[in-house]
Structure 1
Amino acid sequence: MAREPILLLVPIPADLRAALAEHYDLVDDKPNDVPRPGFRIAVTTAIAGFTAAQLDRLPDVRMIASQGTGLEKSDLPAAARRGIKVGYTPDVMTEDVADAAIGLMYAAARRIAEADRFVRAGRWGAERIAPSISLHRKAAGIAGMGRIGQAIARRCAGLGMAVAWMGPRPKPEIAWDYVPDLRDLAQRSDVLIMAVPGGAETNGMVDAAVLKALGPRGVFVNVARGGVVDEDALIAALQNGTIAAAGLDVFATEPKLDPRFLLLENVVLEPHSSSITYETRAAVIARILGDIEAFREGRDFTDVARHA
């Protein structure tokens, strides 16, 4: 087939751009109200998504490929009304995000990042680092039991931790204890791990009351979306010892974040990188290229707009 132009609705990672550029002519969209006819395919990311207003400017688009698992920023009903297919990359990130959640749990509880800074600053010998928190035989509470939540739960169980979870409804096929209320889950947990989808239903669900229930020896981990947490409440809890520590991969205003986080020793910060491994990047790129090829050839692929 001839090289087809693809419209990039937002800046995309360099590796994905390079892979697409081998097969397609890439055009960067501009944030204005000018119509952009002539493009059947567009690419976005889960963090940016797309709006109905954007689709109004793209009269010829019939397929959007979205990098990532989240769909809360994508107006899927608007795409469905226009007959636009929407592909995304849900499965390929699961295991690496779960690994990262466990890494953040250990880094925060066992003070690994803080210990690294302690040694590099030449404090070892003159001082003794404060004790960390053991995780063996502790309780992990997981908010969200989708693909990623289940992968995290398997890892926690394998580490000898008791596992409980919460979500909008029980899942009889899942053996771990179901707790319908997040505050109750935090109360019974030593580590609270967020793996819920973003969006209005989960926005701000971790508030001061939830963090108080987690307690002064509790550890909070977020690999979901920054918006699921009241960040003012989280910062206050870390400052005041309401909880012991946190490991955060996501933030409400990323890539900018509240500068108060940078002053805290008891929080481990990641640049939304839980899925960024060589293996997952290759799988994500292959999935997007495969979905686009399937669309161009008239073959089926996972179209999430169809169920909107």
Structure 2
Amino acid sequence: MNKPSLLVLIPLKDDSYAHVAARFEVVYAPTPAERIAAIESHGAAIRAVLTNGTTGLTAAELDRLPEVEFVSALGAGYENIAIEPARSRGIVLCNGAGTNDDCVADHAFALLLAAVRDIAYRDHAARNGVWRDQLPMCPTVSGKRLGVVGLGHIGMKVARRAAGFDIETAYHNRKPRTDTTFRYFDSVVELARWSDYLIIATPGGQATHHMVGRTVLEALGPRGFLVNVARGSVVDTAALADALANGTIAGAGLDVYEGEPEPPQALLPLRNVVLTPHVAGTSPESIAASVSHFIDNAMRHFAGEAVLTPI
């Protein structure tokens, strides 16, 4: 039986590419120029697309893929995929929910620890012979209050890690969950006012654009710390830069930021922010799990079965 043709719009390392190519006729287009050329040359034959939430797939591109019947995001996010145009054509949509939750939650706590304990600066100081007496003391991480914005799979795993630090957790979602006893706030501002730490784990997209802005940061306060492992669009970069520079909040740890992959220029001069380049969900284990999950979903679809994680 002929292998289905698959348009891959994201980079895949050697092992991942080999696993996917064993089951699909791959058209590999991870750069913007390759993407344009691939759709021009192969669009009429493509039956499936693999992308992610950041890279997405536009309605105009879907129009040039008349045979597509299956579109998947490798990770959990899918904010830049043209969902409604795809649904209107009956295209099956799915994502990689649950495949990298532990990795993202680990990284969220790494950023929190690094921000609160000023790890990046102290590493630099130690390498330059600066001893502890010349540095201000940092707060203890344990025994504080954590607000989670977006208590989904990742948010719940963040909360589990917080429990190990004797940190009390509360959360904000669009509506309260019925399967947890964590305190619910129907306002991000009120959650921030209650919190010492605010970790952002909500989906991206228009509904959450700049959800964390000046008012939320002022509520978090001068001893508060912000961590974002969701999407850069959730946090107003200009407001955050101002809050960090003026002591409105104590510090931040960001794995995502507006304007990726370009570094956030307004934040670069600031000592009290820790930055990583959107790597929270990436590890050999998480990527292997995500690719395997994608293949499982795709094989189920082309065998006429329901996918495991529909969007």
TM-score (norm 1): 0.92
Q: 1:34 Cα shift?
A: 4.1
**Which residue does the alignment assign to 2:289?**
283
Are residues 1:273 and 2:276 paired? no
**Which residue does the alignment assign to 2:255?**
249
Q: 1:303 Cα shift?
A: 5.8
Are residues 1:236 and 2:242 paired? yes
User: How do 1:180-195 and structure 2 match up within 5 A?
Assistant: 180-195=186-201
1:17-74: CA deviations, max 9, x gaps? Answer: 3432344332235337848201112211121221221111000111112211112211
User: How do 1:202-213 and structure 2 match up within 5 A?
Assistant: 202-213=208-219
User: How do 1:77-88 and structure 2 match up within 5 A?
Assistant: 77-88=84-95
Q: Please tell me the residue identity of whatever aligns with 1:78.
A: P
Are residues 1:96 and 2:95 paired? no
Given the alignment, which residue of 201, 204, 229 partners 1:198?
Answer: 204
Change (3 A) 1:11 1:151: closer
Are residues 1:7 and 2:7 paired? yes
Whether the 8 Å CA contact 2:200–2:229 is kept in 1: the answer is: yes
Q: 1:238 Cα shift?
A: 0.9
**Which residue does the alignment assign to 2:310?**
304
1:201-259: CA deviations, max 9, x gaps? Answer: 11001111111111111111001110011100101111111111101010111111222
Change (3 A) 1:293 1:194: same
For the aligned residues, what is the CA RMSD? 1.9
Whether the 8 Å CA contact 2:147–2:169 is kept in 1: the answer is: yes
**Which residue does the alignment assign to 1:175?**
181
Q: Distance in 2 between matches of 1:196 and 1:147?
A: 10
Which range moves more in the overlay, 291-300 or 185-194?
291-300
Given the alignment, which residue of 31, 48, 52 partners 2:36?
Answer: 31
Q: 1:148 Cα shift?
A: 1.0
Q: Please tell me the residue identity of whatever aligns with 1:7.
A: L
Q: Distance in 1 between matches of 2:295 and 2:61?
A: 23
Q: Please tell me the residue identity of whatever aligns with 1:92.
A: T
Given the alignment, which residue of 72, 77, 80 partners 1:70?
Answer: 77
Whether the 8 Å CA contact 1:96–1:275 is kept in 2: the answer is: yes
User: How do 1:101-250 and structure 2 match up within 5 A?
Assistant: 101-124=108-131, 128-250=134-256
Q: Distance in 2 between matches of 1:103 and 1:45?
A: 24
Percentage identity across paired residues of the two chains: 37
Q: Distance in 2 between matches of 1:199 and 1:6?
A: 26
Whether the 8 Å CA contact 1:114–1:265 is kept in 2: the answer is: yes
Question: What is the aligned length?
Answer: 303
Whether the 8 Å CA contact 1:133–1:217 is kept in 2: the answer is: no
Q: Distance in 2 between matches of 1:247 and 1:193?
A: 9
Q: Please tell me the residue identity of whatever aligns with 1:294.
A: R
Whether the 8 Å CA contact 1:110–1:134 is kept in 2: the answer is: yes
Q: Please tell me the residue identity of whatever aligns with 1:193.
A: I
Whether the 8 Å CA contact 2:75–2:97 is kept in 1: the answer is: yes
Which range moves more in the overlay, 29-38 or 170-179?
29-38
**Which residue does the alignment assign to 2:65?**
58
Q: 1:269 Cα shift?
A: 0.6
Whether the 8 Å CA contact 1:85–1:303 is kept in 2: the answer is: no
Q: 1:264 Cα shift?
A: 1.5
1:61-112: CA deviations, max 9, x gaps? Answer: 1111221111221122211211211221011111111111111111100111
